[in-house]
Amino acid sequence: MRSNHRELKKRAWAANLEIARRGLAIYTFGNASAFDRKAGLVAIKPSGVAYEELSVEDIVVLDLEGNVVEGRLRPSSDTRTHLVLFREMPGLGGVVHTHSTYATGWAQAASPIPILGTTHADYLAEDVPCTQLMTAAAAAGDYEAETGRQILDCFRERDPSMTPMVLVAGHGAFTWGKTPEHLVRKHFERKHGTDAYYGQGDEGRASGEERPRRRAGTTTRQRPRRNGRPEEL
> Which residues are part of the catalytic machinery?
122, 198
Distances in whole angstroms, Cα of residue 136 to Cα of each of 104, 106, 146: 20, 20, 11
Residue 62's H or E segment, with its range, is strand 60-63
- Separation between Cα atoms, residue 10 and residue 70, nearest integer Å: 13
Taking the C-alpha atoms of residue 84 and residue 90, their distance in angstroms, rounded to an integer, is 11
Residue type for position 158: R
In this structure, the strands spanning 68-70 and 60-63 are: antiparallel
CB 162 within 8 A of CB 92: no
